[in-house]
Every structure is written in structure tokens, then in C-alpha cells.
Structure 1
Amino acid sequence: MRSLVIAILFVGITFAHPIDVTYDPNPRPTVSDFTRYDITWYGIHLQIKRPFERLDSAMVEIKAIMYDTSETEMLFDVDGIICDSVIMRSAGVETLCSHRISSGTLFVNLPLSFHSGDTVDLKIYYHVTPDGGYYVGRNIHGDTVIFTLSWPSNARCWFPCVDHPKDKALATLYITAPESLVVFANGARTSADTVGNFVTHIFEMNYPICTYNICFAIGNYSFWSDTSSSGFPIWYFSYPVDSSRAYRDWGRTAEILDTFEVYFGDYPFGRYGSAQVPIGFGGMEHQTMTFIGDRLITDTRAYEAVYAHELSHSWFGNSVGLADWRDFWLNEGFAVFSEMLYVEKFFGADSARNYRKWIHLRFRSSGENFPMYDPDVYLSNTCYLKGGSVVHMLRFLLGDSSFFEAVREYTTRFRYKTVVTDTLKAVMERHYGHPLDWFFDQWVYDRGYPYFYYWHQSWHYGDSFFTVLGIEQRNPWGPDAFVTPLEVALYAGPEVLYDTLWIDSTYNEFHYITADSVRRVSIDPNEHILLRAFRLVGISERSIAGKSDNLRITYSNGKLRIVSPSRGIVRVYDISGKIVAQGQVGCGNKAFEFDANLSNGTYFAVLLTKDGIATKRFVVVK
């Protein structure tokens, strides 16, 4: 695939926010920790008039189901909003509610008592000049665009709400705007009524949606549409001057959606859309209406992986949402994995391997060193690149059949619901057939990745060669030993032998009989695991500065006598690779003896020391 795609992707997935706007990329505290009711519907009424920066005469209708009969007030997140009045409607009667705002919370006193399961219907009238979430900016051509981008906690800047992804609700947008401007939003537009020079557009969101995903944009736009093979309409909005470029760049959206349906299950919503907005090189996965930064429209499809990333959030983040922000890696990990899958299916296995290699390199070079769970930084290489690598490692561990069956179960069982990391773990365990605490503990809840130091040595014996491959972990942080399957490639003569090993300790050793001497070993040749690998050089019968010449071995009367040049561990193998004797040895001229009932034949002694590894072949003849 084009190297440009790999070189610029990360810019797109990291800075999904407006240019020249102060932006807080970390989730904020929310009233969701204190509410004992469930918001079921928002009806957001906005009048977009000059000056566009100010929202006057705004109103939000809120329906909620009460869970606690002792509840006497309702709490909503707000930021900069001035509440003019609150009205509660019950049994056809409207009652004015007292209210107050304190420390970013709107407190609404309930004048009536409710039973558990009752519905509360509120109308909150307000005005605000938003300092986030709602933006009035100029695009790359100098034209005014009005749009929202509320991730992660800025919906509260333009309407009162419970601003947390775990509290999903249905929503309707009622937007009154100048008739000369195009208006689009999540969901389906059900009506557009003109009064004078203004049009009131109504958009219905008939699938549960979290507050940061509610969006709209207003400006001078061209529109066209497409349909996926499964019948879903796809809407596109671009600046008129960029429409031909966007038409080419987004031309395979339906094909990518069709591909993802094969692996992730049915597309979970009634439609999809992409829109060009002034957020630079960013992208934002608003439910059914992805916003794409205007600088990502190039007529070259160079940023198609970004489009695939945002589209995949339809399954991971929008349909299956977060119950806890600390599990944010679930959203972005699956999205980056979806990039890998997109590259694999559209450009082939070699390109996919190179793409994973680039992702591993970018993460390792980032220097980030904190767990994916409850991350220090949300828009980070850890949540995105390490997260995507961890999802791919689950695929490598389970195998394609079991892994994608698990993914489809995950997206189907928890459609329109919210999850945590343990939700995913339970599904993966069911398809793996064994507990996966070890996997999630080391990759999700701990930091780091394995540092593998490896060596190999081949000895000629008859018409074959006996090879020992040693792999040691020296991890600077995280677990002392990562447990993982590990693919290796052994280059023996003209042949390449691929093997998948099981690494489960700080030192593992593997043995092979090959027709030719193994001249080279490649660790993780297909880039399945996030790791560093270092080859210990000079591993031969002259290793450890030639001290193997002084590694003296004799055998007599069932006793193996070893004089070692260095302190360490000696292991003795027979020609089949079986360990027949081992023990600790000191240094100097002192001899160490081990009981070993050896038959006639060739054996190999391997001395492991802090300085390196020495090997020696010896023959027992009785």
C-alpha cells in the first residue's frame, strides 16, 4: 500500500479536535455518579441566528425514569449555561421547578413525589455562549461552519445533560437555521418546515446515543449518497469546492462497511454518513455521522485508514459503549485493530504486517509507560496503538475462527449497551476455553511489553543438526515475565521453519532437529506481538570471551564432572533435545559433579551466565 497512508495516519487519529480551540482531551467529573434515574430521551431545541456564537432561547426536553422514590431533585452537568426556567410536566399539568447551579451542576427541585419506574418530563430553558462543544469556525476555504464536537465531556457546554457515555438515551434535534445554509445531524431528518427566512429541521435518533456523540453541522455543503450491499444508506456532505476530491476519497466507504460486517456482525444503525468539517487532520466518530477534518480530503485516498478507523466505531464505542471511562482503550483499541484489518483485506497480508510493524515502532518510540486501563493520557499511543496491538494479540492467541466469533458475540450481545474490560474478557474466555486473567492482567492492567534476548546454536550430528534456541526476558518494567505465544522463523539452509512457541517464564529453551544448520532466527517475523527482540551475538563454542575453551567436561562411573570458567547454570542435552543433567556451578578450578546415567553418544552442555552463554559438545564412550 502507499507508504503515505502509514506515515500520516497517527496524526489523524490523535488530534480529533478543532484547530485553534482550547480543548480538554480528558473526561471531566459528572453527575452520573450520583444520579438514581435513567435519561431515556433528549429533545434539544436550538435557534441558530447571528451572532452564531451565542445560543439564545434554547431549550432541552428531558425524559427520565426514576429508580429511587426518595429522590427530591435531579442533577445535570452544565458548563457556562445560564438556566432561565425549568418546567415539569405531569399528568398534563406543567409546574415550575426551582433550580440552582453550583460547581458545574444544575440542581432541579422536584415539586412532586414519584414511584420507582415513573417517568419525569422536564423542559429546561436556557441560554449560553458555549466555550467548548459547540463551535463557529472557518474552514480551509474561509467559509463559516457551525458544528458540534463534544468528546469527551463537552456536551454540557451547549445543553444540560448527564454527560457520561454510560447514560445513553434516544434524542431528537430541533434546529432552526437560515434557509440558505445546509443542516445535517445524527439520525434521520424527519421534517424541515420553513418560516420566513429560517427552516426548522428535525432529526430523530432512534438508537440509544451517548451525549458526546450527539452532533450537527451547518454551512455551505454539497450532498450525495450511496448504499451498502446490505441496504444501508450512506450520506456524504463536503464543501462544494472539495466535492470531487471527497467523492473519490470516500468512494469505498460502502465496501469497507460491507467488509466490517463480515467480521464484526451486522451494522448496528439505520444509516451512516461522513461530513467534512474544520477540525484539521482530525476525525470524530459521531454516531451515524462521522466528522472528517477538512485537511484529510486529498483526492488520493491517502487517509482511507482514518475513515475505516472512524467507521469501525459504529460497532466499538457507539453501539457497544463505555460504562466506565477508565476502559477507554476498548473504543480506540478496536478502532486501530480495524485499521489493521482494513489494510489486510484491501492491500494484503504483507501490507498488514508492515502496518502492524509501524504501529509497534510508533508505540515503542513514544516512551509512554502506563497501563491502558485508567490511562494517564486518553489521547495517547497507549490507548490507541498499544490497544490495537492487544486486540490483534487476542486474534493471534485465539485464532481467526474463534476470535471473530467472539467479536461478533460481543457486538451482538451488547448492542446499544455499555461494557467494561471484564465484559470483553468474559466473551473471549468463552471462545478460548480457558481463563484469560493472565492475558488481561499483563497487557491491560499493567504496563510495558516484553524484551526478549535470544540466542541459538546448532551442532552437527550424523546427517542432521541439533539446535538449541534460548529466549530470555529482561523486562525493564511491567511483569517479570510476559506469557504469550510467540512465532519464530528458523532459517536452515534453503528452508524456513516456522514454529509458534509458548513463552511463560523469564527463560525458555526450545530444541530442533533440522536437515541443515540453523544460520538465523527471526523472532515474531509477522509482527503479531508488541515486543523488542535482541539477538545475543557471538553465541558459539567461543562465546563468553572464549571461555568455553575452559569449560571442561568429563564423564565416569555415572558422574558428570564440570569445571566452569564462570558462575552460572549448566544444562546438558542429549541429541533428542532432552535435558539429562543440570545444576549450578561456580567459577575457577573447582570441579562440580552431577549424577547422570549417560549412555554412549553425543551430548551438548550449555553454560548460562550473567555474561552470556557458552556451549560445548562432548561424547560419552564407555
Structure 2
Amino acid sequence: MTFSKRPATLLYLKTTMKRLLYSAIIICCTFLSGHAQLLKPQSNFSLADSLRGMLTPLRTCYDINYYHLDVKIDIDQKSISGSNTFNFTAVSDFSRLQFDLFSNLNIDKIVYKGQKLPYKREFNAVFVTFPGMVKKGTKASFEVYYSGKPVIAVKPPWDGGFIFSKDIAGAPFVSVACEGLGASSWWPNKDHLSDEADSMLISISVPKALKEISNGRLRSIKDQPDGYRQYNWFVSNPINNYDVTFYIGNYAHWTDQYKGEDGELSLDFWSLKEDSLAARPHWDADVKRMLKSFEHWFGPYPFYKDGYKLVQAPHLGMEHQSAVAYGNKFKMGYLGRDLSGTGWGLKFDFITVHESGHEWFGNSITAKDIGDMWIHESFTNYSEPLFVESEYGKEASSAYVQGIRKIIRNDIPIIGPYNVNKEGSGDMYPKGANMIHTIRQIINDDEKFRSVLRGLSKTFYHQTVTTAQVEKYMSEKSGLTLDKVFDQYLRTTKIPVLSYQIAGGKLSYRWDNVVEGFEMPVKVTLKPGAFTFIYPTSQWKEAGVTEITADTFKADPNFYIELKMK
């Protein structure tokens, strides 16, 4: 749902000469692959950041096919224990690999073919040595048994970790949110967005008096001999690691069906019992109309096999795949506020709409590197005005997306540095949405624009992608050259300035404050009451105007630009 501000550590200062050499290699690779970030102020990153963010041969040598996470959560002790099974295919020959688990959690043993494997830990990375060469193409598995006290979030979901809360009656209300912080903060996995498990079994044991909800569909509930009950949830579709979750509490449950583009979609709703009377009518008001809107704009809901669940959480919200976290207190807007300042943001529940929009962008289409997290957040932020448009019309939608410009900071670029597990600016939300809205104006054909969005969903369905892939697709599908538009809005903090002069019935105009080669068309008033396309470059051009003065000249406000009279 939101980005995590995680300070870079400096622990690598105590490393050996081997580590220093490795760090130098990492820095060079990061610079070469992150060349688009030259305009961003230099940041300091540690070896720990690189071990988490870099795809080294020790991570690319194997592809995850399936996980079975089987854990017990001790609420009183705020601890976790259990195992995760890694089913993988060897992509290349290897005898050593890396997986990830936060160093504050204990590894009890790692087992391969009944044999314990030796391992070494470095920050939050674990390096495992196999007894012999694992040949390319081999399908195999190993199990990691672990235990300990996971990170507890202080201000979830903006910082990650476990949330130990209580309901009004004093019963436990427990969950986890770990976007940015990382799934390896609570379970062992290959913690990199580029490799998703094709399917997963999530087995969570909790005290019998409570219920537990996770991603996917419930396969079974098994009583344990120690007063616990195990819930087994199977995820049929690929899932990114930070989406894997659990919710524990005194829940009420009801179901419904939605007749969607791919048939009957099951809907499951889980609220605390104490809130069920408020939750039912509130969720009924938004969920089906939201699904109708998003299927219209983006294509079929991506996870029919696993269904759609909306689950009350002890934090504001998160896009947990097929089990969307909800904590907006059954209010319209964002905790009762309209982020756009237009009134339209109070016509829907922000968390229900925004977090569900992530099912298409973030969950089905997932960035390979967290530096490209704008792919998740910009499109999902734009899902809000698209929902408004479906319900209240295009004028309302345009007002909403223009209204959220007031929260744009233009502090650092939207794209973050690659290979160090670091996102870019929070502007990926409102500025990213306005970039997409601006591209829609350039396309100037709403059906073609809709086909671009639906085409993204179909072409990259259940895939991990890069910014370059998204840019290329949108340019080719729209038939436009958009590379400089993406450079301007994603890779700089500069807003295009349309400089102009009007004299003697002539408009003189050009782009200022732009990247080299920026030639974005824009609509302006060449005569009263109508917007017409002009095609500015960084050189002065002229066009005739009728009954327009320097003071009455306007640009279409749907374009995210600034006007400046010279």
C-alpha cells in the first residue's frame, strides 16, 4: 500500500577484504544498471542492502516453484516457529545458494534429502552448501526449520513487521505487513520480487479460540494436540513474497458471488465479529461496483482460482493477494478524508478501492526490482480516478486526479536505485497517476487508452516486469513515442514548463525545464472555448491565435505541466 522508509545501514564497515571486494563489484553493477538515476542525490548503501537487492548467481541459480510455509504463532510470547519447504528447479549447475531470513530469527536446521546442510549467515542472507553439484534442470527441495521473535511494527503499514493488537473485547487481533521491509522478516524465502512461487501452501497454527485467514482458498482445518488449530490455505496462482500474510482474530465470515468477465468470482468477507454489522453494508456498497469498474478498465480479475477476500486488519491496509487487508474503520475516503480535496474522494472507501486495484498492478503485474515500484503504485493510484469515472463521469475523474497534485513533493525521482532494495519517491502515487493521466491525454482516444491498460494486464499477466518493458509496451500499443515523457516524469523531479508569449495574433511557445529531446504535445486555447493540440519542442515555435491574450491563454489542466509567460 505504501512505501517503507528504511534507513541504510553501515555495518559493512567492519567487513573483511573479501567483503570489500564484493562490495566494489556490487557498486559497479548497481551503477551500470541504474544509470537512469544519475539525477538522484547520491545515497549510501551497505553490503546488507546489496545482498538483499542484488540478483547474484547464488540467487539466479535456482527458480522457486512452490513453497510450503508451516508455522505456529505464539501470541503470548510474540514468537514464531516452524518450517518452510523450498521446491525449486536448478537454472544452472550449483553447489551453493542464497536464501533470506532476518538475522534476529534462529535457523534450527536446513534439511536436503534427509541430510542437514551446512550454512553461513551474513546480515539477513543465508548461504547454504549442498553435498554435491545440483545439475541444471534438477527439480528438488529443501526445508528450513526456524524460530524466534519477528520484527514488530511500530507504525504499520508504513513500517513492516508483526502487529499484535486486541479487539474491543480484549481478544487477540494479530497480523503482519512487510512490504519494503521484506517477507524474510518473518519467514525464510528467496526474498526478491523477481522470483515468485508458482503456487504455495500456507499452514498457520493459532490458538483454537481464534480464526486465521491467509491467501488463497482454505483446504482444511486441523486440530493440534497442544491447544492449537492449523489452517491450511492453498494459493493456486503465482504470488510475490510480501503478499503472503495471515490474520488472526475473532472473525465473522460471509460470502457472496460476482458475475465477472471470467465467470463467477467468489467473494469472501472477514470482519471482526464486533464490526460485522457495520462492515456488511459498507463493503457491499463498494466491492461489486469496484470489481465492475476495474474489470472494465484493466480486464478480468487476475485471481479467479483463488477468489477475492477482504479481511479486516489491525492496520490501515495492504494489497495482500486474494486476501486484501482492510483497516479504514468503515469510513468513506481515506480515514474520512478526501485526499483530492474535491469531494469525490468521499464517494468511496479509499482502502477498499486502492488496495483491491493492486490485484492487477502489484500482484498480477509485479516489478522485478523494488526500484520500479511505481509500476505497482502509479497505476493503482490511477485506478482511483478511473473508479470515480465509472461511477460519476469523466469530469469528476479529471477533478480527482488534478486534486491530488497538491500532495506531490517532487523531492527525488519516482524510480529508485536498482539492486539495493530501495524504492523511489512517494510521488509514485500522485505524480505517477498524473503521468498516466497525461499520457491518456496524448493518446487522445479513451478506447485506445483502455486497450493499453487491458493489454498490459493480458500481456504481463502473472509476470514480473521492468520499467523498460512497460514503457516499450505502452509506446508500441499507443503508436506514440513516449520515451522522453517517461524520462521526464519518472527519472527527474522537473515538471515541464510551457513558456509562451502572445503578440500580434501570434503565439510563441516552447518547452523549458525538460529533458533533452522532450517533444510532448499539449492542448491549449488557440481560440476561446476550445483546446487544440500544439507540438512544442525546446525551440520556439509559432501558431496563430484568435481573441486570445497572454492573460487568457490556457493549457488543458488534464496535462500535468506548468505555464509560464515570458
Taking structure 1 as the reference length, the TM-score comes to 0.73
Show structure 1 runs of 5+ residues with no match: 1-12, 460-466, 537-611, 613-622
Structure 1 match to 2:320: 286
Distance 1:480 1:68 in 2: 42
- Provide closer, same or farther for how the CA distance between residues 302 and 417 of structure 1 changes in structure 2, counting only shifts above 3 A: same
Higher relative contact order (Cα pairs below 8 Å, separated by 6+ residues): 2
RMSD (Å), alpha carbons:
2.9
Equivalent pair of 1:53/1:136 in contact (CA under 8 Å): no
Structure 1 match to 2:254: 224
Matched, 1:415 2:474: no
Return the match for 2:107 from 83, 93, 98. Answer: 83
Return the match for 1:135 from 135, 150, 162. Answer: 162
Structure 2 match to 1:487: 523
Task: Note the C-alpha offset of 1:302.
Answer: 5.8
Structure 2 match to 1:501: 534
- Provide closer, same or farther for how the CA distance between residues 186 and 443 of structure 1 changes in structure 2, counting only shifts above 3 A: same
Distance 1:24 1:53 in 2: 26
Give the total of aligned pairs.
494
Distance 1:397 1:46 in 2: 51
Per-residue CA deviations over 1:521-554 (Å, capped at 9, x if unaligned) read: 35333x32222224x4xxxxxxxxxxxxxxxxxx
Return the match for 2:294 from 260, 275, 295. Answer: 260
Matched, 1:171 2:200: yes
Aligned pairs (5 A) from 1:362-401: 362-363=407-408, 366-374=409-417, 378=423, 380-398=425-443, 399-401=445-447
- Provide closer, same or farther for how the CA distance between residues 134 and 324 of structure 1 changes in structure 2, counting only shifts above 3 A: closer
Structure 2 match to 1:61: 85
Structure 1 match to 2:123: 103
Distance 1:440 1:367 in 2: 15
Aligned pairs (5 A) from 1:164-203: 164-169=192-197, 170-195=199-224, 197-203=227-233
Equivalent pair of 2:218/2:233 in contact (CA under 8 Å): yes
- Provide closer, same or farther for how the CA distance between residues 264 and 380 of structure 1 changes in structure 2, counting only shifts above 3 A: same
Distance 1:396 1:373 in 2: 26
Task: Note the C-alpha offset of 1:166.
Answer: 0.7
Aligned pairs (5 A) from 1:14-53: 14=2, 28-29=49-50, 30=52, 32-33=55-56, 34-35=58-59, 36-53=61-78
Per-residue CA deviations over 1:246-270 (Å, capped at 9, x if unaligned) read: 2233222122112111121111102
Q: Indicate the structure (1 or 2) with the bigger Cα radius of gyration.
A: 1
Per-residue CA deviations over 1:137-193 (Å, capped at 9, x if unaligned) read: 225745422212121242112111111111100211111111211110100010112
Structure 2 match to 1:547: none
Structure 2 match to 1:157: 185
Distance 1:140 1:508 in 2: 65
Equivalent pair of 2:298/2:454 in contact (CA under 8 Å): yes
Return the match for 2:356 from 305, 311, 315. Answer: 311
- Partner SS, residue 152 of structure 1: coil
- Provide closer, same or farther for how the CA distance between residues 134 and 518 of structure 1 changes in structure 2, counting only shifts above 3 A: closer
Equivalent pair of 2:68/2:86 in contact (CA under 8 Å): yes
Distance 1:228 1:206 in 2: 19
Per-residue CA deviations over 1:11-36 (Å, capped at 9, x if unaligned) read: xx54789xxxx999999542743311
Structure 1 vs Structure 2: percent identity of aligned residues? 23
Distance 2:151 2:530 in 1: 60
Show structure 2 runs of 5+ residues with no match: 10-44, 153-159, 337-345
- Provide closer, same or farther for how the CA distance between residues 372 and 531 of structure 1 changes in structure 2, counting only shifts above 3 A: farther
Distance 1:125 1:43 in 2: 12
- Provide closer, same or farther for how the CA distance between residues 520 and 247 of structure 1 changes in structure 2, counting only shifts above 3 A: farther
Return the match for 1:338 from 371, 376, 383. Answer: 383
Per-residue CA deviations over 1:433-458 (Å, capped at 9, x if unaligned) read: 3443222222223331112343435x
Per-residue CA deviations over 1:562-594 (Å, capped at 9, x if unaligned) read: xxxxxxxxxxxxxxxxxxxxxxxxxxxxxxxxx
Distance 1:517 1:82 in 2: 72
Equivalent pair of 1:268/1:314 in contact (CA under 8 Å): yes
Per-residue CA deviations over 1:3-56 (Å, capped at 9, x if unaligned) read: xxxxxxxxxx54789xxxx99999954274331111111111111234241113
Taking structure 2 as the reference length, the TM-score comes to 0.80
Distance 1:250 1:46 in 2: 31
Task: Note the C-alpha offset of 1:428.
Answer: 1.6
Equivalent pair of 1:177/1:198 in contact (CA under 8 Å): yes
Larger fraction in helix: 2
Structure 1 match to 2:234: 204
299-308 vs 434-443, which deviates more? 299-308
- Provide closer, same or farther for how the CA distance between residues 381 and 490 of structure 1 changes in structure 2, counting only shifts above 3 A: farther
- Provide closer, same or farther for how the CA distance between residues 155 and 28 of structure 1 changes in structure 2, counting only shifts above 3 A: farther
- Provide closer, same or farther for how the CA distance between residues 227 and 520 of structure 1 changes in structure 2, counting only shifts above 3 A: farther
Equivalent pair of 2:3/2:423 in contact (CA under 8 Å): no
Query: What is the letter of the counterpart of residue 223 of structure 2?
Result: T
- Partner SS, residue 552 of structure 2: strand
Distance 1:309 1:166 in 2: 23
Task: Note the C-alpha offset of 1:208.
Answer: 0.8
Aligned pairs (5 A) from 1:516-595: 521-525=552-556, 527-534=557-564, 536=565
- Provide closer, same or farther for how the CA distance between residues 444 and 298 of structure 1 changes in structure 2, counting only shifts above 3 A: closer
Structure 2 match to 1:244: 277
